[in-house]
Structure formats: C-alpha cells, structure tokens
Amino acid sequence: MKKFLISAVTAALFVGAAPAGAATQIDFWHAMSGRLGELLQEQVDKFNASQSDYTVVATNKGNYSEALNAGIAAFRAGEQPDILQVFEVGTATMMAAKGAVKPVYEVMAESGLTFDPSIYLASVAGYYTNTDGEMLSLPYNSSTPVLYVNKDALKAAGLDPEMDLSTWDKVGTAVDALKASGSKCPFTTAWQSWIQLESFSAYHNVPFATEENGFAGLNTELVFNSPLQVKQVEMLGQWAKDGKFIYAGRRNEAGTPFRAGECALMTESSAGYAGVKKEATFDFAIRPLPYWSDAEGAPQNTIIGGASLWVLEGQTPEEYKGVASFLNFLSTADIQAKWHQDTGYLPITTAAYEQTKASGFYDQNPGTDVAIIQMTGKAPTPNSKGIRLGNFDQVRTVIDEELEGVWNGSKSAKDALDSAVSRGNELLRRFEQANR
C-alpha cells in the first residue's frame, strides 16, 4: 500500500511537472513581503502567462539582509538563484563580487534582446551604473525622501496649511509656530543617515564621500563633515533640545507618530505614502524635501533608496536569456506604471512616468509626483548620482550612533560628524582591504 502510494504520488508529480518541464525555470529571490510581495507575485504571474518558454519562480527569503545572506550562502553552495534582489546598502558588496555577479548589461547583450539603457530615469539607473555607463543591476523598487505635512496640525497652530515649506528657513518658522502653539512633535525624520546626510548632500550638490561618492574607486573617504552638513545637524540638534524635533528611531519608526497625527512634519521615503494614505485620519500633503536657499546649486536632485535586481553567475545561457526577457518585461511601461501607482515607489522608466501622468493619477492623488520631479529636475552630478560605499551598513550604524549623540545633547554637531567620518573611514579601509 505504502509503495503504491509513493509511486502514485511520484507519477502525479511527474504529470504535474510535465508542462512546466518544457519551460526553463528562472529562480528569483526577493525580500518583498505583505502587500509588496503580492504585487511582485502578480508581476511574475503575468510574465509566466505571457509566454511559455520560461517560468519565473519568485521566493521570499525574508527581509533585505536575510535575502542577501541567503543569496550569498546559496552561491557558496553552488545553488544560487538566477536573480537576487539586493538593497541599496549592499550595492558595493555586489559590485565588488566579480565572478559572482553577471552585470545586467552583459546579460542583455548576450541575450540578443533589445536593451536601451536610455529608457530608464538617469537618476534612478545612475545608482546602479558604473563609471563607464554600463548598467550593473536593474533598479526595481526605488524611493526618495520627501516632506510629509499634516495640514490639520498646521491649521491648529494658526498657520496656512498651504504655506511654503520649500526651504529649511521656512520649515524653521513653521516649527517655531507649532512649538509655540503646544505641538508635542513639530518635526520628525525617518532614516536619518539616508535623508539628513546622504540625500541632503546630494540635494545640495556637496560630496558625501570622495571619488564621486565611491563610484570611482574603493579608495573613497567620507567627507560629510563640511560646514553645510554641520549646519543641518546643528539645526536639528537645537530643535531636538527645544522639543521641536522628536527623534523616533534609526529606521522608519517616525512614521508611527506621524500617521497617528502627533507629528506635524516628517521627512520620510516616498514609499511611505501608501501607509500614510491608509492610516492618516487628517488632511496631509507631500512636499519636496526642503533645502538651504543660500547653498549654491540647491536644490540639485535627491538620491534613491530601495533595492535592485542582480543576476548571479553560474547559470546556463538559456536561463540568462529567460532572465533578460523577464527584466525587459519588468521594465515595460504598464508594469512600471502600476507598480509606481500601487506602492509609491518611483517608476524606473520615463515611459511609465508619462503613462501615469496621462492617466490622470497625479491629479487624483496630489503629491505623488513630488518624488519623481525632485529626482529628475536636474541632471545628476557626481555628488548626486548616488552613494556606493563598502561596509555601508556599518557606516550607517556609525552615523546613527553619532547623530543620536547630538540629539540627546551629549555631542556637538561638529564633533559627532568628525567622529562619524573618522570611524566610517576605518570601515571603508577595511572593505578596500577585503576587496583588493
């Protein structure tokens, strides 16, 4: 009986696998969970239904760090997937892994499919492109920091809810008025290193690190302790001391009090839009990230966060062909426009942006185009293309630690940034040594 069962099951499996057996399987490991995971699966299903040569199998491998680890461990064991989603912090690690990573431009060229890198938004694709202009990974989910405004809170403080908040001076005036009228949380920020230092530097066209923010070489050194960045951190430190800036945590913890209506202003990723829209019981608006009007060249463009898709080495040419056609499929305007509208992530191609604009989505959902305008307003400079640092996760931790020292009043802005630079540089030198 048992034997019969086993053979029956085996037979059933074979029968079930037969149609799929004809198609080449493409493994795609990702870190999207919840609603984002469902949307990703939808894209994969659409691709699988659209053709019969390839079957993409998408698997969630946990959060970003876990997915990266799973990919690395699998590579070491020779069991790597074809496509791995890696967050922006892991970009330098992936780039340095020559022999493990097959650059996207190469995959595309070998596949013989048409591939035009110019259809991608320069400021998004630039983050994942080398200095020779070759695209190394395909941008997938990219966001950029914007300012969220609780209009009801501004009104309650006697301010015009439509007031100009484009510069830090003006935000300062608003914050003062909010505090004076008894607001418990006039301003807060998520992702302090990414928004208040990395994007801040790009937005003001000042370098975050030498060697084009690390794009041009592993011998990069941090330089985010220049007077402009010190001024920004000093201002926030003073606000923290006066109870005008409430620090909530290193990641996106600030979203909780903002969505609950406790905080009036918040700088957060544009991808936080879905959550705010769902939970906020107040009138809110999305504004561009503020800048210092006296800084030359500001506002430049902000930089992205999020993740991109990397193709790993060691697969058959047939699989790479499938990968190429899947990546092309993901870049089509329909897929990108839907992804952009559903999630608040940026569309990665100009066509998807134009299509969304034509559909009237931005008119119905005011503020959803702020991020993309802010990203594409000016052609990126070496200071605003992106940031590519080794051991970036540890560097961010160092920055978080030092900034917390400023927020709780135990360190001056200058000391904290100087110390973050020298501690961060040690981590960069270590990465350089490991990847010589």
Note the residues at the interface with another protein (CB under 8 A): 65, 68-69, 72, 75-76, 90, 93, 96-100, 185, 247-251, 253, 256-257, 260, 262, 391, 393-394, 397, 400-402, 404-405, 407-408, 410, 423, 426, 430, 433-436
Nearer to another protein, 234 or 401 (CB): 401
Written as six digits, the tokens of 134 are 């070759």
Nearer to another protein, 231 or 423 (CB): 423
Nearer to another protein, 66 or 162 (CB): 66
Using CB atoms within 10 Å of the CB of residue 432, give its burial: 0 to 12 exposed, 13 to 18 middle, 19+ buried: middle
CB of 405 to another protein, least distance (A): 5
Vertex 121, ends 118 and 126: CA angle to 5°? 85
Distance of CA 170 to the CA centre of its chain: 27
CB of 157 to another protein, least distance (A): 19
Nearer to another protein, 155 or 241 (CB): 241
Nearer to another protein, 227 or 243 (CB): 243
CA-based torsion, 188, 190, 192, 196: positive or negative = negative
- What is the DSSP track for 31-61? ---HHHHHHHHHHHHHHHHH-SSEEEEEEE-
Nearer to another protein, 69 or 167 (CB): 69
Which residue, among 197, 127, 162, 165, has the nearest Cα to 398 in the 3D structure? 197
CB of 179 to another protein, least distance (A): 16
Within 8 A by CB and 6+ apart from 207, the residues are 201, 213, 223, 224, 226, 382, 383
> Contact at 8 Å (CB) between 24 and 53?
yes
CB of 280 to another protein, least distance (A): 15
> Contact at 8 Å (CB) between 193 and 407?
no
Nearer to another protein, 221 or 404 (CB): 404
CB of 78 to another protein, least distance (A): 11
Written as six digits, the tokens of 169 are 């001076």
Q: Give the residues across from 349 on adjacent strands.
A: 120
CB of 199 to another protein, least distance (A): 21
Which residue, among 222, 208, 204, 219, has the nearest Cα to 290 in the 3D structure? 204
Which residue, among 189, 192, 156, has the nearest Cα to 174 in the 3D structure? 156
CB of 253 to another protein, least distance (A): 7
**299 preceded by cis ω (within 30°)?**
yes
CB of 418 to another protein, least distance (A): 15
Nearer to another protein, 52 or 65 (CB): 65
d(CA 213, CA 387): 5
d(CA 167, CA 6): 70
d(CA 280, CA 267): 16
Nearer to another protein, 181 or 397 (CB): 397
The 10 Å CB-count burial string (b at 16+, else e) for 158-173 is: ebebebebbbbeebbe
CB of 195 to another protein, least distance (A): 16
CB of 393 to another protein, least distance (A): 5
Nearer to another protein, 134 or 401 (CB): 401
